[in-house]
Amino acid sequence: MFVCRACLRKSAGAVAAEARLPIHPLRAIPAHTPRGAFLSTAAVHVRRPDRRPERRRNDMPPSEIPSEEQTSEDLVAKRRQKQLEFAVGKHLQYLKDPLKIAEHVQATLAKDRYDEALLLVRTASRDTKVTVSWNHLIDYLMKQQRLNAAIKLYNEMKKRAQGPDARTYTIIFRGCAASEHPKLAVHEALRIYNSMLSHAILQPNAIHMNCVLEVCGRAGDLESMFTVLKSVNKNIRTPDHQTFTIVLNSLRYGRTTDPNLSEEDIKRDNDVALARARLVWEDVWARYKDGQLTLDERLVCAMGRNLLLSEDRKDKEHVLQLVHDTMGVPRFDLSESASRPIEPPSETELESSPDVPISPKSANLGPPFASLVVPKPSNNALSLVLLCLETTKRSSVVSKYWDHFTTVYGVQPDKDNYIRYLKVLSRARASTAAANVITTIPAGLLAPLIFRMGLSTCTHDNLNRHGYDNATRIYNTMITKSRYPDPLAMRLFLQTARACVRHHYEQHRGDEEAGARSLGKQIYTALELMWTPFRTLMSSFSYPDADKRPTRSPAEKWQLTEGQIQEALAVAARMIAAIDKLYTEKIVSDEELKVVVTRRNILSRLLERYGDKGRVEKTSLRIAEKAAKKMGLDDINDFARIRE
């Protein structure tokens, strides 16, 4: 047909050009036309992927269409992942030593960049043993109370051929002990511990066993704890003083704490715990005599606090004997002959009474027992002795024990020691000793409770002619070492000034008027000492400290300060009552009377002002609560913000 080559070349090029044109499905040419028949022989062109996928969203169901926030979050996550990979790659170019990698991981975790540290450890685990770095990651998760995540990371560590070491299991068990979910922690700890006993190449040691015991003890699972104790052996899991300390503390804390239990049930639980503790202590003392165990203060105090669970007075008194036998503390509650060191017993006596604690100083047991160091008492032992003296009501010897601990052993008492000591002194009504102690307490340990206990002791010791003087010493200590006085302590001080009456009338026998004037002078002096601190206290409510949390509404401000203001107003009322006594009985001079009457007027106006303010604030608070309920608001502060 086409003889000429040029014509043939032109027609072939036209067909190819027509074949390259895309055919839109909506613009398909009918097949009956000549041109459609001509183009029907062309090859179908495969369309490349659309560069604008949003055109296809109309064909997708609404639930599958990604939102703009999800798309942006995905882009940010991908960008963040690329940045982490780049940073990790740069770090690993220069970090080749596992020790340097572990140090870098620890520094990264200190900055709370966990994702970066995890990616670095995973990348480094491909060709390097970085067990220490994995330990840092697990420890970080445990401190963040992410127990499940830490266990998953431990399993991933094993899958990546990074064998756990002894430190890894120690971190896991200690993290389980500190977990806020004790039941789950017991399950995971026992599962890992049992797998170590049966399958692992690395057998658990005494540290691992102690940690698992602590996990069970914190959860109150005593049965599991005694099951773990069955894994004790003489090689790597030999029980030490920490093991028995954990067991004794668990017995004390593992008692039933249901408030609905009767007294008989509580007594039965205490007796069971004490009986178990005695059996444990027999084992402790037997090992101690054989030189297999060393005693420390925590172990002795753990047993002593179990003895205090008993309601029998003799069992509680055994605490003093226990401290005497193990630490050498003298028995000041006994006679001088009874508190001397015990004579060395014979071998037959020693074998016949294996469960009676004998002082290592007095018992001639020979080497290696003679080379053991006697535990030195400190704050824990002092607290135990004070608690024993408080429960047994042996307040006559408490000062001897206190002086012995603080002077001979050099114990620096803490806040708990001071409070327990003041409790015993308050029972004994020893105001002079209480004042001597409070004046020597460091300012950092002082608290309103300490001043209240000391002044309460002086109030009960009103028959002592020095009771008011001791109260004045305590009150001056509070004024000089505290920023603001405690209102309840001020009330107790004024009550002491009015209660210490007897020695004034005994000093002026036969002259009641002179005794009354002496008492009036004492009350006037107390009011004079209270006036300036009281005004400082009241000004603190009008001008609060800058470091206090700002309130969002007047109602919230009143709720925070209402109790303190009411206590201060109670002090003002007591001061007015004392002034009325001075005015009605005329037991002070006229000049002093003018001063107190003027101050009484100020206090009366103060009571009227804050009393009316309190009633108004309470009324407005009730109105705000009703309005908030009508508007469906849960918080009154939301109602206050709406009004603003």
Spell out the domain ranges in the chain. 82-157, 531-545+560-644
Give me the mean pLDDT over the 468-478 stretch.
96
Percent of the chain residues topping a pLDDT of 70: 75
151-163 residue pLDDT tens: 999 999 999 999 9
Residue that wins the pLDDT comparison between 366 and 114: 114
Residue type, 446: L
Name residues whose C-beta falls within 8 Å of residue 181's C-beta, 6 or more positions apart in sequence: 147
Beta strands in 268-371 (DSSP E): none
| Torsion on CA atoms 72, 73, 74, 78, rounded to nearest 10 | 100
Residue 419: the pLDDT is: 95
Q: Does the structure show a pLDDT above 90 at 266?
A: no
- At residue 263, φ and ψ (nearest 5 deg) are -65, -35
Q: Are 640 and 629 in contact (CB under 8 A)?
A: no
- The residue assigned the tokens 């659309």 is 50
Rounded to two decimals, the pTM is 0.75
- Per-residue pLDDT reduced to its tens digit, 381-400: 999 999 999 999 888 899 99
pLDDT for res 361: 37
b/e code 537-572 from CB counts within 10 Å (16+ = b) = bbebeeeeeeeeeebebebbebeebeeebeebbebb
Q: Which of 17-21, 81-85, 562-566 has the lowest mean pLDDT?
A: 17-21
Spatial contact of 253 and 220, defined as CB atoms under 8 Å apart: yes
Residue 553: the pLDDT is 64
Task: Decide if pLDDT at 109 tops 90.
Answer: yes
| Res. 146: pLDDT tops 90 | yes
Shortest CA distance to 349 belongs to which of 281, 418, 289, 279?
A: 289
For residue 635, pLDDT beyond 80: no
Of 580, 584, 576, nearest in space to 602 by CA: 576
Query: Looking at residue 84, what is its pLDDT?
Result: 83
First to last CA, the chain: 96
Q: Look up residue 228 and give its two tokens.
A: 């773990």
* Average pLDDT estimate for 309-331: 91
68 or 74, which is more confident: 74
Question: Does 630 score more than 70 pLDDT?
Answer: no
Say yes or no to pLDDT of 300 above 80.
yes
pLDDT range class, residue 631, cuts 50, 70, 90: low
Q: In the chain, pLDDT over 90 holds for what percent of residues?
A: 55
* Res 244 pLDDT > 50: yes
In this prediction, residue 263 carries a pLDDT of 83
For residues 66 and 77, give the distance between their C-alpha atoms in angstroms, rounded to a whole number.
15
Mean pLDDT of the chain: 81
Max intra-chain CA distance, the chain: 161
Residue 368 has pLDDT above 50, yes or no: no
